Amino acid sequence: FELGTALGDLEYYRVFYQQQYFYPLTKGNILSFNGEVGYGDTYTGKPFPITKNYYVGGIGSVRGFQPGSLGPYDVAANGIRRPIGGASKLVGNVEYTFPIPGSGVDRTLRLFGFMDAGNVYENAPSFAGLRSSYGFGLSWISPLGPLKFSYGIPVSKKPEDRLQRFQFQIGTAF
């Protein structure tokens, strides 16, 4: 929960909830679920502050799309579309992680397959307009920390969506 008070210039609130489940299936095989919902609004009738917008797209949310590229956008005078985020978001992920065949007891290098869905909205979150993707990747628990390489294939997309199939991440589960 985040609150901008009347003492400042921004009078708004943001509520965010995330739930993750990790289910071990068999030795070294894990089925993981992630769900996120976020909503923000003002309590004065003024527009929601753009600096507090949510952003979705990329390896931390919907893989296969450029980071932060989904949802509402602004078109500059030169015709370039710029993502501006939105006051609400929905994200859902499913990931199946398994050891590389023949790797023995080494569990630092693993393969995974995934399905992602999500989007950002100007107002209330909705299942309408969700973007989705599926793909595969490699995770490595390196001496520098967890590393993830993924290849995402967008399924539900619009012609104007910015795609980024290969992505790299340092440090988190989803």
Beta carbons within 10 angstroms of residue 136's beta carbon: 14
CA atoms in the 13 A half-sphere facing the CB of 44: 14
User: Are 126 and 110 spatial neighbours (Cβ–Cβ below 8 Å)?
Assistant: no
Per-residue pLDDT of the chain (174 residues; tens, 9 = 90+): 788 776 667 789 999 999 999 999 988 899 999 999 999 999 888 889 999 999 999 999 999 999 999 999 999 889 888 999 999 999 999 999 999 988 877 788 999 999 999 999 998 888 889 999 999 999 999 998 999 999 999 999 999 999 999 999 998 766
Query: In sequence order, what are the beta bridge partners of 118?
Result: 91, 131
CB-based contacts of 71-77 (< 8 A; 24+ apart in sequence): 71/119, 71/120, 71/121, 71/122, 72/120, 72/121, 72/122, 73/160
**For residue 112, which phi and psi values (nearest 5 degrees)?**
-150, 155
Kindly report the CATH number that applies to the domain delimited by 2-170. Answer: 2.40.160.50
**For residue 52, which phi and psi values (nearest 5 degrees)?**
-105, 5
What's this model's pTM, rounded to 2 decimal places?
A: 0.91
